Amino acid sequence: MTPHDAIRSKLEQLYGDAAQATYEALLPLLEPVRPGSTDTLSLSEKDIVLISYGDHVQAAGENPLHTLHRFLQEFAAPTINTVHLLPFYPYSSDDGFSVIDYYAVNPAHGKWEDIESLRQDFRLMFDFVCNHISAQSHWFQKFLAQEPPYDDYFFTVPPETDLSQVVRPRALPLLTAVETAAGTRHVWTTFSADQIDLNYETPSVLIEMLKVLRFYVEHGASLIRLDAVAFLWKEIGTDCIHLSQTHLVIQLMRDFLNSIAPDTIIITETNVPHEENISYFGDGHNEAQMVYQFPLPPLVLHTLAMGDATALTKWAKSLGDPSGQTTFFNFTASHDGIGMRPATGLLSDAQIQALVERAEAHGGRVSY
User: What is the CATH topology of the domain spanning 134-197?
Assistant: Oligo-1,6-glucosidase; domain 2 (3.90.400)
Tell the burial category of 254 from Cβ atoms under 10 Å away from its Cβ (0-12, 13-18, 19+). buried
> Which pLDDT tens digits describe the chain residue by residue (368 residues)?
888 999 999 999 999 999 999 999 999 999 999 887 776 677 888 999 999 999 999 999 999 999 999 999 999 999 999 999 999 999 999 999 999 999 999 999 999 999 999 999 999 999 999 999 999 999 999 999 999 999 999 999 999 999 999 999 888 999 999 999 999 999 999 999 999 999 999 999 999 999 999 999 999 999 999 999 999 999 999 999 999 999 999 999 999 999 999 999 999 999 888 889 999 999 999 999 999 999 999 999 999 999 999 999 999 999 887 788 899 999 998 888 898 888 988 999 999 999 999 999 999 988 87
Quote the CA–CA distance of 223 and 17 in Å, as a whole number.
33
From 197, 268, 182, select the one nearest 235 (Cα to Cα).
197
Q: pLDDT at position 323, please? A: 80
Contacts of 220 (CB under 8 A, 6+ apart): 115, 116, 118, 119, 124, 126
* Residue 344 near residue 353 (C-beta atoms within 8 A): no
* Residues labelled catalytic: 227
Q: Are 7 and 252 in contact (CB under 8 A)?
A: yes
- For the chain, the maximum distance between any two Cα atoms, rounded to a whole number of angstroms, is 61
The CATH number corresponding to 3-131+203-292 among 3.40.50.2300, 3.20.20.80, 3.30.110.30, 3.40.50.720 equals 3.20.20.80
Q: Which parts of 218-344 are beta strand (E)?
A: 221-226, 265-268, 290-292, 327-329
How far is C-alpha 308 from the chain's CA centre? 33
Domain boundaries for CATH 3.90.400.10 within the chain? 134-197
Please, where in the chain does CATH 3.20.20.80 lie?
3-131+203-292
Q: What is the pLDDT of residue 45?
A: 87
Q: Residue 274: its pLDDT value, please?
A: 82
